[in-house]
Amino acid sequence: MDLILQQRQELKLLMTSQLRQSIELLQYSTNDLEQLIRQQELENPLIELQESDRWAQIEKLPSFQSARNSAPLFQATTINFRDQLIQLVHLSFKENEIKKLLEYIISHLDYKGYLEIDGIESPYSTEQLTKGIKLLQQICPAGIGARSIAECLLLQINSHDPEYPMLKELIGHYLPLLAENKWKIIARKMNCSVAQIQKYNDLIQRLNPRPCILSNSETTEYVHPDIIVENQEDELIFYLNEHYLPKIHLNEYYLNTSFTNLEDKHYIHNHYKNYRWLVSSIEQRRHTITQIMHVLIKKQLPFFRNGLSSLVPLTLKEVADEIGMHESTVSRATSNKYVQTPAGTFEMKALFTSKVLTNDGKQISQEKVKTLVKQIIQKENKHQPYSDQKISEYLNTEYAIRIARRTVSKYREELKIPTASMRRKWQ
């Protein structure tokens, strides 16, 4: 075999690290983008940040300046409900043994208020723990300290409705069957009517399976909208919610400094490229989101005025074709972002929905079909609820929407609506 040296010219598209980062930046929410900007400031000496006017005005306040160098103006006070229970025990009981028993029970409550001691060697017997739970019911919400959901419900029954012995039997022995709505089987086993079981079931529905939420460490998560849509003079306008983002400026001191060391020149040159990449990528992200929102405002005008029930069918590809971009670009630009509208705050992805064809060739969104399914179930006869097949036939007859039974079942599960047998009420 002869060795031959050849020259060949090729054109290749290489995915550079900065190009990859620019694509990832499209998926960032506004909060994530702020963190990226501040991180770049720490790493790049050519980047200077100017805080937004909102923060600049706050920093000028004397109270902010004094608090900046001292303790915070406000300190968050967290209420430890477990400590409150222990304080209540010390106020209510005098015997040290009882206090120690109740403190042990309170210290082993899970976040729902149940006693969680499985796998733990307890210094107290089952009888002592039962006695302690009964004492705890005298000063705490009924059901706290229970070791199971059945015990939790029974403790509440004893507190509110002690005159129902059959109800206690139902909770103690047939709670799994009750959860499956097998009322006929329960009625036959308990030698009573199905109507009585339904009456007891209604009573159980009023009880609280989580009598005491002890976890105060969970903080409420607030949605920060990335885009805000407002109705001004009967016209919809939108803007990117970026008022708190710092402005990026170039520190020209290092650029104007002459370096004799080649390594220093290379260092400054690379950071200058990173600065230009950051500014360009943020502007490209802003331009892409703005283009997408212009199309969404035009295509989803009924949604922005009335909410999800008026959502029209719209796919990522349709928006991509409208603005001359790839479908994957639209997908990334709409990820992890929320839109605040006059009808509420929604994920940006929620504005895209598949289409369902009606018998007359018209298109209707999946969200509209889900709304119709929910309305049909709400208006049904609870003694004879519609099956998924019946709902499918009803949609075809009344609304000319032809969808399969399994599709109705999928929509019903997404709406968290139980099956017909679980919805049935006995006469």
Give the pairing of strands 363-365 and 355-357. Answer: antiparallel
Q: What is the pLDDT of residues 48-101, one digit of tens each?
A: 998 876 555 445 444 444 434 444 444 444 557 788 888 888 988 989 999 999
In 3D, which of 85, 83, 206 has the Cα closest to residue 140? 85
Q: Is 120 exposed, middle or buried (0-12, 13-18, 19+ CB in 10 A)?
A: exposed
pLDDT score of 364 more than 70: yes
Q: Rounded to an integer, what distance in angstroms lies between the CA atom of residue 280 and that of residue 108?
A: 55
The pLDDT assigned to 16 comes to: 58
Residues in Cβ contact with 160 at an 8 Å cutoff, skipping those fewer than 6 apart? 142
Strand ranges for 264-400 from DSSP E = 338-341, 344-347, 355-357, 363-365
The confidence band for 338, taking pLDDT boundaries of 50, 70 and 90, is very high
Amino acid identity of residue 95, one-letter, is: E
Q: What percent of the chain has pLDDT over 70?
A: 87
Read off the tokens for 394: 């009803």
Q: What is the pLDDT of residues 101-141, one digit of tens each?
A: 999 988 888 888 888 887 778 888 889 988 998 888 888 88
CA dihedral sign, ordered 64, 69, 74, 78: positive
**Residue whose entry in the numeric block shows the structure tokens 């000319």:** 400
Q: Rounded to an integer, what distance in angstroms lies between the CA atom of residue 299 and that of residue 293?
A: 10
**How does DSSP assign 150-201, residue by residue?**
HHHHHHHHHHH-TT-HHHHHHHHHHHHHHHTT-HHHHHHHHTS-HHHHHHHH
Claim: this prediction has a pTM higher than 0.85: no
Q: Rounded to an integer, what distance in angstroms lies between the CA atom of residue 275 and that of residue 349?
A: 31
Average pLDDT over residues 4-16: 67
**Residue whose entry in the numeric block shows the structure tokens 């709400």:** 378
Decide: 140 and 88 in contact? Cβ < 8 Å: yes
* Length of the chain as a residue count: 427
CA dihedral sign, ordered 106, 109, 114, 119: negative
Q: What is the pLDDT of residues 251-263, one digit of tens each?
A: 888 777 777 788 8
Decide: 161 and 167 in contact? Cβ < 8 Å: yes
